[in-house]
Structure 1
């Protein structure tokens, strides 16, 4: 299995920052609860050795008594940390990029293993939110830590300076708050909260390390209650609940209004609250109300009646079995999800929510372009958006300089911590700063004085882009400045209108990203690979071969690509236009092979969902620069097809190469066959190495914002190494009828055992036929084109199957796979 990019780069001499001499090889995590164990897992993800510790139990459990164990037994003494760690690695979503990374974590307890931190570079405290207990832990840390080692706290509610009181000078200089958000692997925010005594190089190091190595959006926060993200995010949530109560909206209506339409998690307010746990929100909100006596909007943290009732009933969400939603089993044994009626406080069947304002935004793809339309709505949706948006705009403008000196920090923290696609100031910009101020005044609200000063100076936006770099409005200087730390990022949105566009059509745009490198971006719905994208790939390679050094294929969408345009295939299949389908497949195959056999290096930069044709494109790149959170797989079987864009061919080629390296032939073939037949998808880029989708030489980027820049570097590396155009392969070993006999026997056994349907068996036989090279009498060598022709014929034949069309229709209409 390939090491991650971070494991390769974690050499101090390669870092360019002033704090480069500090190297993190070992991290001790104190506290193994939900956050502690998952923080430990994320450090293990990047190749760091971790020591995870927790308390020693005071009493034996019944199971331990039955085994005759004593309190001195090591198994008993580590019970708390063992149980927590096992729960973490079994949890979903998985906290580890790969299960094997669990071996990088050692387990221990505070009494036996605290002395071991003397060998560790960084100690992270993640114990219960109790200052007295934390200080006891710090007494022990102070006793054993080596001078100069970092000590940080993951607290979300206790002032950082209070935890540092009474500690030694060296401790205080190296002490800081490092507030991760749960789950640490997936949520990008890491708030860095120094005290007045924290050394500046320590702060600089943590900001850099969190960004480059942990893949985080690192935000410098002040030591104020709840820091930045929770201060703004919880206020926004509680005000939303208060307004919902005043307007009499339903649970379903609110989740529809606060989900994907405004660029926030699709779960919406109430479903997300059930997932996170209402008790967490209540605790933070109560603490903020008590701790912010001078906040002009303090009442926004008061619990609305609906939340108080939920708290009294202990309906706290998924952890208590019910919250704003409740899952039940019907008399027929079916699962049904009921919604809470906020008036009667009884559960009822879900009701469909519909608003004219939302209907009017269905054709608007860009989230930012929807906001003005949403606020202008004349129905209850429009009223809801005006009340909630204008309220949060006023609140964030008043938080500067209290919680942050720069406005971009608030946007970065809220977006990364609460998974908002667009931060509050960015949203305000999208609607128009002047327009929003006018709306606020009409409703009796006013932003902070600095907003008026900004407008009076002739500046009408909080952000602007110059030379491909995003800049923010700096309040003290009344001018625009580059956002620190983003100089090395290549954000494609920032290149629009900057003269960097080289070519484009409706579905793709080609940018010059500097140093002789082009970048091809898709922007179709879900980045599906239709005719426009295919044209874009061939055009981009042609232009790059003529005038440039190389090409990156990557985008800033939510996902790299959902695969082929199924709707088009379905339409042609229904109309029995098989010549058109054949032409589409042949054209896509030729395009994918063009990626492989171009005269310039092509690096593909996948992220998020990278399925079907998107995965096939990845597999044919000269090199892959994948985001850590990339979910790749050949999933065509799910819609009754086989990988037809070179995927089946390429997997067969890779099996052939492994056989040459000494692997057992039929075993290797069978394992790869099962990956395709079961439509396996990696749960991380790291797992894609196991599926043979990624190969030696491919790299992983932890911070998604750095992906395009890292891919560009990969192109330039290939150029520097003396890239030579490869030749099509004619030496792929296939098994012929020998292999087919094995597969037919296995498939028949699965069918008779009722593990698969007859249609599944038909698809599986098609895959086996291609991978074995068709009706060849004996194992022999074949060419790529030979396998591509077999692949195309198999794909085409399956589009004529009624059950395949039923599967495609199910995906297109409801997004659910059909097993028929």
Structure 2
């Protein structure tokens, strides 16, 4: 089915409606956002002499909702200008306009009667064949379809976005009883390619997949927490990033989301799931019920499992709830032997196996929670899904887990875990025993470069649909596609005569191993391949250069070593730009410092939409010296257009570095000059490496020729130096910056001006590289710079001295 979505009507402007509208605007779609009209005037409207018939009053609810969303952080828009794609209105005046829209999405309150009433009105104006969906977290599709026309029903489905829709990757697609299968295929593909979502096909069962499993995990975990007598901080220490879950872990997440939201889902599931063997686990334990009854629902009510105390002197003090007395106490800093012992285990899969098998209270908690979750998930097949992988996809994308339940079970060993589960009184579903008895000992495996899942129906391993369109580094590793590696980097053959370089250092920092990897990859590609993709599947592309080695050399005053190190870094970045093969870099999430500089020097960038990119060296008392300062000066020179005021344009680039400006999206990175017109943006991160490879092949097929270093970069010399000096001095006198900030800024100004040249001059890239290296080297000799680096390395906090 060929459908083009140019215009979407969103019916309902609450938190979800407004945020979904923003995300459609992010991808270039025109949006009509509608809501009800108010029934009474506000005092302010009365003072202005307005009536209920005035347009500003009739659209007050929708406009207020949208403005609230625009003010909220994190931002729902990639760029604030995208709001121009959203038009607001109300159901009474503007509902007829939906006849001109390609997709009508209902996002009103979760009440069946209200949804049905709105659908009745929609049918009067909706053009036959128009796609219509309901964004619901649990109302059955069959109930919403009752009384609707045949055309409505065949074009109708459920779409469950998770909040906030820009950031959470899950989009559940739920067919109605008569939905045309082609509509479902379209929604699955559109959500993936255009909205950047993990689209998961769900059955029309209570809470669908993610909330059914995720809320069970939360409430069941609460029972275990209460039974074991664990504290709030103890649980959050155990259930966060240490096991590949969100940093906010359990209790902090519940405070942010709102305890009422989780409880309402749990209560509804308890009422609905009469035949669920674990139904009683949805009953609220006391440590949840007391808070719910007291309306201590978290941030929205000012207190929950945590409470922030604000003192008269401005101090803030975080308190946590004592789960025995239900009084607030000082937040604790818990310690567990298992966590201490696992600190050096960076591989998440190895760490989880270590923790679950550790003999202490942490290990006991992990065993209780994991075993119960495994049992529950096994019994949900085929009720909520016929396939294991859909459950893993939904929970990971909806709740921010790195590994799903069945993936985690595989890590621990299915057979040995089943035995331990049964000894603990948790019996897996019969199909798991059948799988093991047939000699199949894992839920997933890689064969011939394909990741496959155990299919319960056929009792065989089948390829996960759609995976052939992705490049998955873990799969390549299992398929023996690694062709080179060291402790910090690995090179893979990613097919079609293209190789890929992956970093896997801590925070993917760029140290000597990564530099070696980049140079080796370019050498190999120049000899035997069409091109190179540089990207990884870590939480962040790169947090920047490895400061530890620099700090050691600077502390020992080994300035010759530092000079060689900087020169080597610069040469590697220039190698990425000036090699005989196309180099495409695929940054995602954080691409800071050296990670940004590598992207700046690629032939092209295939960026993920969620990109936090910037040159942040100023924060550690330095300037960018991996070619970053040179490159931004070069981009200023090349971007000057007729009518531009050169000094103003140069100052924009200067301030981006001097304020360590980091983009909040790939779209903003383009506006800041970090990305260029030739660079592309991927919405779905799973597609990023494949699209980067396609870009390499496109450059190669177009007849890629090795570029020549540029020698015509315009610098402004004393003219810009004078401007920068005036600004720096003013900021210094006003106490907006410290003396050391001023010193760094003057070094930066010197480089970006090309020194104190008497007139605007054309210089080479190497000229600017030498200047930035000299400036960087001089700053490593500054005591206050070393203090800043020390604070980042050993305290994890920036220092402004």
TM-score, normalising length from structure 1? Answer: 0.97
Residues 199-230 of structure 1, C-alpha deviations (whole Å, 9 max, x = no match): 00000000010011110000000000000000
The one of 329, 342, 349 equivalent to 2:310 is 329
Equivalent residue number for residue 22 of structure 2: 41
Equivalent residue number for residue 783 of structure 1: 764
In the alignment, the residues of structure 2 paired with residue 155 and residue 306 of structure 1 have an alpha-carbon distance, to the nearest angstrom, of 28
In the alignment, the residues of structure 1 paired with residue 534 and residue 384 of structure 2 have an alpha-carbon distance, to the nearest angstrom, of 39
Is 1:298–2:279 an aligned residue pair?
A: yes
Equivalent residue number for residue 386 of structure 2: 405
Deviation at 1:133, TM superposition (A): 0.6
Equivalent residue number for residue 67 of structure 1: 48
In the alignment, the residues of structure 2 paired with residue 276 and residue 621 of structure 1 have an alpha-carbon distance, to the nearest angstrom, of 40
Equivalent residue number for residue 16 of structure 1: none
In the alignment, the residues of structure 1 paired with residue 289 and residue 186 of structure 2 have an alpha-carbon distance, to the nearest angstrom, of 43
Matched position secondary structure for 2:719: helix
Q: 1:790 to 1:224 in 2, by over 3 A?
A: same
Equivalent residue number for residue 276 of structure 1: 257
Equivalent residue number for residue 464 of structure 2: 483
Is 1:247–2:220 an aligned residue pair?
A: no
Equivalent residue number for residue 267 of structure 1: 248
In the alignment, the residues of structure 2 paired with residue 543 and residue 347 of structure 1 have an alpha-carbon distance, to the nearest angstrom, of 60
Equivalent residue number for residue 482 of structure 2: 501
Map of 1:421-432 to 2, 5 A cutoff? 421-432=402-413
Deviation at 1:445, TM superposition (A): 1.7
Is 1:770–2:751 an aligned residue pair?
A: yes
In the alignment, the residues of structure 1 paired with residue 21 and residue 197 of structure 2 have an alpha-carbon distance, to the nearest angstrom, of 15
Q: Does the 8 A contact of 2:12 with 2:34 survive in 1? A: yes
Is 1:146–2:130 an aligned residue pair?
A: no
In the alignment, the residues of structure 2 paired with residue 59 and residue 814 of structure 1 have an alpha-carbon distance, to the nearest angstrom, of 55
Equivalent residue number for residue 562 of structure 1: 543
In the alignment, the residues of structure 1 paired with residue 7 and residue 247 of structure 2 have an alpha-carbon distance, to the nearest angstrom, of 37
In the alignment, the residues of structure 2 paired with residue 257 and residue 166 of structure 1 have an alpha-carbon distance, to the nearest angstrom, of 49
In the alignment, the residues of structure 2 paired with residue 373 and residue 615 of structure 1 have an alpha-carbon distance, to the nearest angstrom, of 35
Is 1:186–2:167 an aligned residue pair?
A: yes
Deviation at 1:655, TM superposition (A): 0.6
In the alignment, the residues of structure 1 paired with residue 494 and residue 788 of structure 2 have an alpha-carbon distance, to the nearest angstrom, of 41
Map of 1:216-227 to 2, 5 A cutoff? 216-227=197-208
Q: Does the 8 A contact of 2:141 with 2:204 survive in 1? A: yes
Is 1:804–2:770 an aligned residue pair?
A: no
The one of 363, 367, 375 equivalent to 1:386 is 367
Deviation at 1:160, TM superposition (A): 1.2
Residues 637-696 of structure 1, C-alpha deviations (whole Å, 9 max, x = no match): 011110010000000001111226552211111111011100000000000011100001
Map of 1:626-775 to 2, 5 A cutoff? 626-659=607-640, 662-775=643-756
Q: Which stretches of structure 1, 4 residues or more, deviate above 4 A after TM superposition?
A: none
Unaligned runs of 5+ in 1: 1-18
In the alignment, the residues of structure 2 paired with residue 185 and residue 196 of structure 1 have an alpha-carbon distance, to the nearest angstrom, of 29
Equivalent residue number for residue 15 of structure 1: none
The one of 435, 450, 457 equivalent to 2:416 is 435
Is 1:522–2:503 an aligned residue pair?
A: yes
TM-score, normalising length from structure 2? Answer: 0.99
Equivalent residue number for residue 238 of structure 1: 219
Residues 144-181 of structure 1, C-alpha deviations (whole Å, 9 max, x = no match): 01111111011112111100111000000000000000
In the alignment, the residues of structure 2 paired with residue 71 and residue 574 of structure 1 have an alpha-carbon distance, to the nearest angstrom, of 71
In the alignment, the residues of structure 2 paired with residue 528 and residue 110 of structure 1 have an alpha-carbon distance, to the nearest angstrom, of 52
Q: Structure 1 stretch 232-241 or stretch 657-666: which is displaced more?
A: 657-666
Equivalent residue number for residue 550 of structure 1: 531
Is 1:93–2:74 an aligned residue pair?
A: yes
Deviation at 1:332, TM superposition (A): 4.1
Deviation at 1:577, TM superposition (A): 1.2
The one of 148, 153, 160 equivalent to 1:172 is 153
Equivalent residue number for residue 531 of structure 1: 512
Is 1:26–2:7 an aligned residue pair?
A: yes
In the alignment, the residues of structure 1 paired with residue 249 and residue 451 of structure 2 have an alpha-carbon distance, to the nearest angstrom, of 29
Equivalent residue number for residue 11 of structure 1: none
Residues 205-259 of structure 1, C-alpha deviations (whole Å, 9 max, x = no match): 0001001111000000000000000000000000111111111101000000000
Equivalent residue number for residue 328 of structure 2: 347
The one of 300, 313, 337 equivalent to 1:356 is 337
In the alignment, the residues of structure 2 paired with residue 28 and residue 787 of structure 1 have an alpha-carbon distance, to the nearest angstrom, of 52
The one of 139, 143, 165 equivalent to 1:162 is 143
Q: Does the 8 A contact of 2:321 with 2:329 survive in 1? A: yes
Equivalent residue number for residue 207 of structure 1: 188
Q: Does the 8 A contact of 2:266 with 2:282 survive in 1? A: yes
Equivalent residue number for residue 98 of structure 2: 117
Residues 698-730 of structure 1, C-alpha deviations (whole Å, 9 max, x = no match): 000000000000000000110111111000011
Matched position secondary structure for 1:163: helix
In the alignment, the residues of structure 1 paired with residue 367 and residue 601 of structure 2 have an alpha-carbon distance, to the nearest angstrom, of 49
Residues 739-793 of structure 1, C-alpha deviations (whole Å, 9 max, x = no match): 1011101110011011111111111111100000012121101110010010001
The one of 159, 165, 178 equivalent to 1:197 is 178
The one of 217, 238, 241 equivalent to 1:257 is 238
In the alignment, the residues of structure 2 paired with residue 801 and residue 338 of structure 1 have an alpha-carbon distance, to the nearest angstrom, of 40
Matched position secondary structure for 2:478: coil
In the alignment, the residues of structure 2 paired with residue 211 and residue 105 of structure 1 have an alpha-carbon distance, to the nearest angstrom, of 22
The one of 603, 608, 613 equivalent to 1:622 is 603
Matched position secondary structure for 1:339: strand
Q: Does the 8 A contact of 2:446 with 2:478 survive in 1? A: no
Equivalent residue number for residue 414 of structure 1: 395
Matched position secondary structure for 1:476: coil
In the alignment, the residues of structure 1 paired with residue 562 and residue 718 of structure 2 have an alpha-carbon distance, to the nearest angstrom, of 29
Residues 100-145 of structure 1, C-alpha deviations (whole Å, 9 max, x = no match): 1000010010000100000011111100111111011001111101
Q: Does the 8 A contact of 2:622 with 2:744 survive in 1? A: yes
Deviation at 1:331, TM superposition (A): 5.2
Deviation at 1:816, TM superposition (A): 1.6
In the alignment, the residues of structure 2 paired with residue 337 and residue 661 of structure 1 have an alpha-carbon distance, to the nearest angstrom, of 55
Give the aligned length. 801
Matched position secondary structure for 1:94: coil
Is 1:228–2:212 an aligned residue pair?
A: no
In the alignment, the residues of structure 2 paired with residue 294 and residue 447 of structure 1 have an alpha-carbon distance, to the nearest angstrom, of 17
Q: Structure 1 stretch 761-770 or stretch 573-582: which is displaced more?
A: 573-582
Map of 1:451-466 to 2, 5 A cutoff? 451-466=432-447
Q: 1:132 to 1:660 in 2, by over 3 A?
A: closer
In the alignment, the residues of structure 1 paired with residue 781 and residue 440 of structure 2 have an alpha-carbon distance, to the nearest angstrom, of 60
In the alignment, the residues of structure 2 paired with residue 671 and residue 701 of structure 1 have an alpha-carbon distance, to the nearest angstrom, of 27
Deviation at 1:196, TM superposition (A): 2.2
Deviation at 1:580, TM superposition (A): 1.2
In the alignment, the residues of structure 2 paired with residue 649 and residue 467 of structure 1 have an alpha-carbon distance, to the nearest angstrom, of 45
Deviation at 1:468, TM superposition (A): 2.2
In the alignment, the residues of structure 2 paired with residue 77 and residue 521 of structure 1 have an alpha-carbon distance, to the nearest angstrom, of 54
In the alignment, the residues of structure 2 paired with residue 48 and residue 658 of structure 1 have an alpha-carbon distance, to the nearest angstrom, of 29
Equivalent residue number for residue 89 of structure 2: 108
Is 1:315–2:296 an aligned residue pair?
A: yes
The one of 594, 608, 613 equivalent to 2:575 is 594
Q: Does the 8 A contact of 2:141 with 2:177 survive in 1? A: no
Deviation at 1:805, TM superposition (A): 1.1
Unaligned runs of 5+ in 2: none
Deviation at 1:795, TM superposition (A): 0.6
